[in-house]
Structure 1
Amino acid sequence: MSKKYHIQNSPFVVPTTDGKLIEEHFGQATDGNKDISIAHMIAPAGWSEPFQTPEFDEYTYIISGKKQFIIDGETIILEAGQSIKIEKNTRVQYSNPFVVACEYIAICTPAFSMDLVNREAE
């Protein structure tokens, strides 16, 4: 009989060039799951991404630090203990323009994929 659970002890560390740590615990890169991705992230101070319009819902829970979101032109800043759900097909920019790193959990449904993120040119 197979187990009905899986403990993740070695998440996939996504290679980045911007200093951001992405540890995918479950998702396409880790186990091929296309329904959901769960990742532990650390965005360094001064980090930002280009605007994007993802084809997935994204839930973010801030563990420490602060993270800035520009969502359809509105600037929102979340701090430790706060969370947000951003619906798919919403134009958003993620950044950490602050002086300390931001640690957070990101959950995407369906799973995060570069094919679905639709990043704009910088």
Structure 2
Amino acid sequence: MKKFDVQKNPFVVPTNDGKLIEEHFGLASINSELSLAHMIAPPKWSEPFQKPEFDEYTYIIKGKKQFNIEGELIVLEAGQSIKILKGTRVQYANPFDEECEYLSVCLPAFSIDLVNRE
């Protein structure tokens, strides 16, 4: 049995808001207990508030991303990261003029059934 998985063709999650989501590991690609996704959020993008049933780790590669975490606004820039615990009310946004490229890790793996969007 092989003790590794190489991902050469991540699953591109269909979106209707201009955001690119390439899942490398997770429920839609190479099945895994966590999900790892490369994302690009376009300028002026945002999502509704949500209260996920997973921990989410975000690492900013390029640009800036805004987090509204239970009413507290936090802006991260390239080279910075954050961990948001499951059960936390959060809204993700890129209200800025340039795209934001980042990596997201969810544990357990991301599932639309676990997001709990408002």
TM over 0.5: yes
- 1:8 aligns with 7
Q: Would you identify which runs of 4 or more consecutive aligned residues in structure 1 move more than 2 Å? A: none
- 2:29 aligns with 30
Q: Which runs of 5 or more residues in structure 1 are unaligned?
A: none
Q: Distance in 1 between matches of 2:74 and 2:30?
A: 33
- 2:81 aligns with 83
Instruction: Measure how far apart 1:48 and its partner are.
Output: 0.2
1:74 to 72, 88, 92: 72
- 1:97 aligns with 95
Instruction: Measure how far apart 1:32 and its partner are.
Output: 3.1
What's the TM-score, normalizing by structure 2? 0.98
One-letter identity of the residue aligned with 1:15 = P
What's the TM-score, normalizing by structure 1? 0.95
Instruction: Measure how far apart 1:20 and its partner are.
Output: 0.2
- State whether structure 2 residue 104 is matched by structure 1 residue 106: yes
8 Å CA contact 2:55, 2:84 repeated in 1:
yes
Q: Distance in 1 between matches of 2:98 and 2:12?
A: 21
Deviations 1:65-85 (A, max 9, x none): 000000010000000000000
Q: Please give the secondary structure, in 2, of the residue aligned with 1:31.
A: coil
Which structure shows the higher helix fraction?
1
One-letter identity of the residue aligned with 2:8 = N
One-letter identity of the residue aligned with 2:21 = I
- State whether structure 2 residue 12 is matched by structure 1 residue 17: no
Instruction: Measure how far apart 1:3 and its partner are.
Output: 1.7
Give me the CA root mean square deviation. 0.6
Q: Distance in 2 between matches of 1:32 and 1:82?
A: 28
Q: Distance in 2 between matches of 1:31 and 1:50?
A: 27
Deviations 1:46-98 (A, max 9, x none): 00000000000000000000000000100000000000000000000000000
